[in-house]
Amino acid sequence: MITINPIRAFADNYIWAIGSQNSNQIVVVDPGDATPVLKYINEQALSLTAILITHHHYDHVGGIKKLTQHFPGIPVYGPENEDITGITQFVSDQKKIQLNELIPQEDKFCSSKQTTQLNFNCSIEVIDVPGHTKGHIAYLAKSNNALFCGDTIFAGGCGRVFDGTIEQLYHSIHQLKQLPKETKIYCAHEYTVDNLGFAKWVEPENTDLLKRDDEAMTLAEKGIPTVPSTLEMECKTNPFLRTHITEVVQAAQKYAGHTLKTELEVFSAIREWKDSQYD
Ligand SMILES: [Zn+2]
């Protein structure tokens, strides 16, 4: 059974550490900064055995160089459709990564190749989720129903469109909505309270949302992470996953000033509304 713990970085990033109770080995997702990862590793006498990258933004990739200097030869998985320095294994949709596979590792003392057996068994599937960026990918650990979705879905919100398109982002989120409802959403930022504030603009009378907002504020005040959330909770409270709900459609139409005919149009209007008037 794998364990998943947050390592905080920058003002509001989460670098997720995937480990095992029976092992001192961990894999990290989106290490934008090496310093907090190395601190976490040193404090707990751990060893880094792989890095998973979701997309090219600096706050997700900035730690690759220093971490691979400390742990030479470890595989660095990342999206096939983005240009990221330091990626050793380019992956795309449906690729399965077996984290217990034998991974070649340079022996720094005698410069020969050796192999390292990871002591935990975890199969991770890659899902293409372009939109925030053009090549963004997510990692799904089915055994734990854990989705590492980078900046695609956030608790109560979703990523902005940078070098992808709004159509891609809508379709990626729609695709992730088909996963089991108990799927845990390990997003890369602590934006929950802020996102739920906007969600209340869209659905001021959604009781699930109001309850979640109260709970998130209590956690945030205590400095406790509000993530992971679950897909079920996002479907109940996140406006970007609720573009089929009458209240959301009506609110989006009111903002747009005209009738919106498709869920994509509703999604686009909500994203534009948040970008232009809330953030
Ligand atoms: Zn990003």
pLDDT along the chain (279 residues), means of 10: 93 95 90 98 95 98 98 95 96 89 47 50 92 98 95 98 98 98 98 98 98 98 97 98 98 98 98 96
Q: How confident is the model at residue 110, as a pLDDT?
A: 42
CA of 264 to the centre of ligand 1 (A): 21
Span from the CA of 58 to the centroid of ligand 1 (angstroms): 8
- Residue 111 CA to ligand 1 center (angstroms) comes to 36
Q: How far is the CA of 23 from the centre of ligand 1 (A)?
A: 31
Measured distance between the N- and C-terminal CA atoms of the chain, rounded to whole angstroms: 39
The Å distance, Cα 64 to ligand 1 centre, comes to 16
For residue 182, how far is its CA from the centre of ligand 1 (angstroms)?
25
Looking at residue 111, what is its pLDDT? 43
Rounded to whole angstroms, the maximal C-alpha distance in the chain is: 69
Which pLDDT score is estimated for 100? 65
Give the per-residue pLDDT at 118: 54
pLDDT score of 109: 47
pLDDT at 200: 98
